A and B are shown apart, each in its own frame.
Chain A
């Protein structure tokens, strides 16, 4: 029961914070919409992109990047949650949370789930706008996408959590954007099919093929078209567990990165 209260408390706090940061929702949606409306217009591929699974026929570029842009929403939100974690730590509210009698991994995972739920809401707001712009997927695809989005959001949230456990100050976060978010985003199947990348650079193709974000995006893409991609599912799940494990370890005052911050005796 007390676990449920704590979990609910964390989720409500995150939701409350999100609700009061309207600019955050707007900016979360503006970014992918710029890609969808402006970038995709430049690369519209009016004559069609060759067929690759899960698509049954030829598609235009805007249709192709829609699941990738949902992935980008999750990626940025995952990072933003970790940013808030660094902020919380600097402001002291994280200390209050972590001094709760409940196990630390439970509190961290609750925080992760709270962040993932917000990611999910943002992704569906994006799907709605994309639908209004004429990019639709099968009706059941929107339903199947929910677990795929949730797993991917958890994976990216766990990555953020992991990074936040290693970042000592808020200022260092710019480095995360340059060294983690952008490479992860561009070296993935979000913006272009990987076979296209293979045509120009085999090395980049392999990096992208092993990028967990690629698997998250493919998981969402397949789910949106009512099919299941087992490889993507396993990679995303295993990566989530690994990232989570390392992050929890990182937040352990006895072993992780927190220890290093203590003044040496």
Chain B
């Protein structure tokens, strides 16, 4: 038998490894790990105080955790599920974005109105950039040219040039922008406004709003419709918007910006993340302490799983 046949057969025989979703539980100071094939909780890991935003390094070796009340970004070794060290993050880190270069972490420091850029390898602060009041959402463009920060009180998107670490432009959006998401081609940005109740579509080249999406759910008061997490499918078909205390996720046609459906999930739905090659979408439901799983083909909620208290962020490792 040729030497390559056996390993090839073994690979064919072994079942596809399930994705693992990591969910940060704000009130329990823990992470819940979920098997996204079996849709079961695997284990719970203790981490720093009030974990909120979480993201993986691009090689999935490390998980970065904003431990807001510990005033640190913690680094979890994914192989051992142990915290290996903290990064200097500035005060009260809540959300962050990892630059495509895999070592510049852009952290929003809510209390100080700055964005701190940390080198994850050298573990030092590269720059601190003054932005608007209460910085919150962060996103890096796929080409690495731009980093956008949203400020909740100034109601702006702040455009940071990643090559100079300087703020070069601002875009005024609706009240309390929470989250920004680049499209895969990097030409457009989707930005959710929690109090404004809208999602703004912003053209990257002109930095101007080209479209605003409004939401309306029968039987739900409009004040309860507070868009937060946004996720876009890679095929450019759908956008999913978490609507906070409205307990629904809006399904939006990513081409026409028409709202197609509202899917009922747990209470105060916050952040979203895809799993299993974007076949599933996971939502963190803060108040009900669970994670809902949406089938992105059928556009149906297939299951809701209990996790810890006040789940906030979610990241998925293939």
Interface residues of A (CB under 8 A from B): 44, 46-48, 50-51, 56-60
Contact = CB atoms under 8 A, between A and B. Distances in A.
B287 to A, nearest CB: 11
B247 A57 contact: no
A46 B303 contact: no
Contact of A56 (B224, B266, B302): B302
Given A47-B267, A48-B264, A56 B304 contact: yes
B219 interface: yes
Contacts of B304: 51, 56-58
B15 interface: no
Interface in B199-255: 217-220, 224, 246-247
Contact of B303 (A44, A48, A50, A56): A56
B299 interface: no
19 contacts: A46-B217, A46-B220, A47-B220, A47-B246, A47-B247, A48-B264, A48-B265, A48-B266, A56-B302, A56-B304, A57-B293, A57-B302, A57-B303, A57-B304, A58-B265, A58-B266, A58-B292, A58-B301, A60-B264
Interface in B269-301: 288, 290, 292-293, 301
A46 B301 contact: no
Nearest to B294: A57
A58 B267 CA distance: 9
Contacts of A59: 264
Contacts of A46: 217-220
List the 6 shortest-distance A-B pairs measured between CB atoms, nearest first: A46-B219, A57-B304, A56-B303, A57-B301, A47-B247, A48-B264
Contacts of A58: 247, 264-266, 292, 301, 304
Interface string B120-160: 00000000000000000000000000000000000000000
A50 B288 CA distance: 9
Nearest to A47: B247
Contacts of A56: 302-304
Nearest to B265: A58
A58 B246 CA distance: 13
A50 B217 CA distance: 19
B296 to A, nearest CB: 15
A141 to B, nearest CB: 14
Interface-centre pick from A50, A51, A58, A60 (highest chain B CB count, 10 A): A58
Given A47-B264, A56-B304, 10 more contacts: A46-B218, A47-B246, A48-B247, A48-B267, A51-B304, A57-B293, A58-B247, A58-B266, A58-B292, A59-B264
A50 B267 CA distance: 9
Nearest to A44: B219
Contacts of A57: 264-265, 292-293, 301-304
Contacts of A48: 247, 264-267
